[in-house]
Structure 1
Amino acid sequence: MTSLNLKSTALAALTFMAGALGAWSTAVQAEEPVISAEWQSIHKDFFGSRDIVDATDKITLDTPIRAEDAAIVPITIKMPAEFASGVKKLTLVIDKNPSPIVGAFTYGAAAGKGDRMLSTRVRVDQYSDVRAIAETDDGKLYMVSRFVKASGGCSAPASKDLAEAMKEIGKMRIKTAIGKTKSGLSNEAQVAIKHPNVSGLMMDQISRAYPPAHFITKVEVKTGGELVFAMEGGISISEDPSLRFSYDGNPADVMEVKAEDSEGAHFASSAGSNQS
């Protein structure tokens, strides 16, 4: 092969590689948009024209890059004490879910002044940005987001028969003082509620029908009579909702939990230190 042919072959190879890399880059950008059309609509509908500041230095959002099970995707939000002490509300959003607002958490005095943590499990319907938006006492909004690769979570079949699940609906497991946040200034607790949290998009595997949506809409947690948080949620929270969170107060204080679902049913339970 002549020197000219070698150069031509090398040039062609480099051109092909550059094109392939460019196509790959374009595909990645298309798959993981910085600002989705859905988010633009959500921003307008729920936050109006208010500015939302990037908060990668203030909020940590932990999610899997690719979820093992789209119906139970774990997410954890952490905020350091110096920022968290001024946060009055936290909203979780999944851009491409049929109901994008996962939950809005309004904090009370018992949320404390230390590090703040919240962990739960969510449904992800298709590849999407997941967002945590904090509102501070002065009305400013701060956000972090992560791109999660998962699909079908909102229409995935329930893990148990609906009739069987309804027999335990509303039962709670409450564990208090199960750990400390990084700073050691706040305790951690966990609340788990038995509820099918039917999305309305899930086919019954026996009847082939679609049971109507039936899900937890509100959760209120208090300790020692003081509010930790009040949550308003929707179908994006996984079956049998579970919330692990930080709080302030005496670990021996009684923790009271109240919940309500979309059919108007009310549930309540309480527990002291390490009781369930």
Structure 2
Amino acid sequence: TVGKNIAYGLRTDRKSTRARVDELLEMVALDPSYAKRRPHELSGGQQQRVALARALARKPALMLLDEPFSALDSGLRVATRKAVAQTLQAAGVTAVLVTHDTEEAISFADQIAVMRCGQFTQSGTPEAIYRTPRDEFTARFLGDCVVLEARVEGGIAETVLGQVPVKGALDGGQRSVMLRPEQLVLVKDHDGAGRVVGMEFLGGELVVSVRVGDLLLELRRPSTIEISVGDSVRIDIVAAAVSLG
């Protein structure tokens, strides 16, 4: 049963064990009545929560979660991830989460470490690594990005998209600079240097393909945006680009 699964490893009397099982079930947002159920009577998300409760039963100081949500569908994965994060935080347990899902890592973690070929490329808070990656691999690993070749002088990068302020770059010479797609604002402009060459409807979003010279950009935008294939556009840039090592 679920109750016996959770109690596995506990060394307490029957009354204390039952109380601990009920406490753990409530901690993972399951009713104590679930203690009588068997694994085949649970959904995938409920099974994950029971596994978490069993792991927490002996009050560990540290937990390793190795791709714990990979077998769940997308909607259930998000709900279970939130529940697990809240449970671990409430229990005061440090957890190491191994995942290839960047959204999962960013939303779950207080600290992220990105690995490549067995070496850390960068570690820090999700926001710091996302906004100021040190190299192109880390930048692309954590989300869509636009990498441009530029010449930097006086903190300004000359790019195919125009002049862009840049942080973390030494003046002089060719540099690679990075922008996140959300920093690029599309504006319909008859004199704009860009042209919309394709659009893909994804429900709430559109993938808008824009060509600027030899550069092809694919930008996700709300599907309410008033823009069509063939429109001329300019691209306004919000905030500074980041120089990549």
* TM-score (ref. length: structure 1): 0.23
TM-score by length of 2: 0.26
Which structure has more relative contact order (CA 8 Å, sep 6+)? It is 1
Please tell me whether Structure 1 or Structure 2 has the larger radius of gyration of its CA atoms: 2
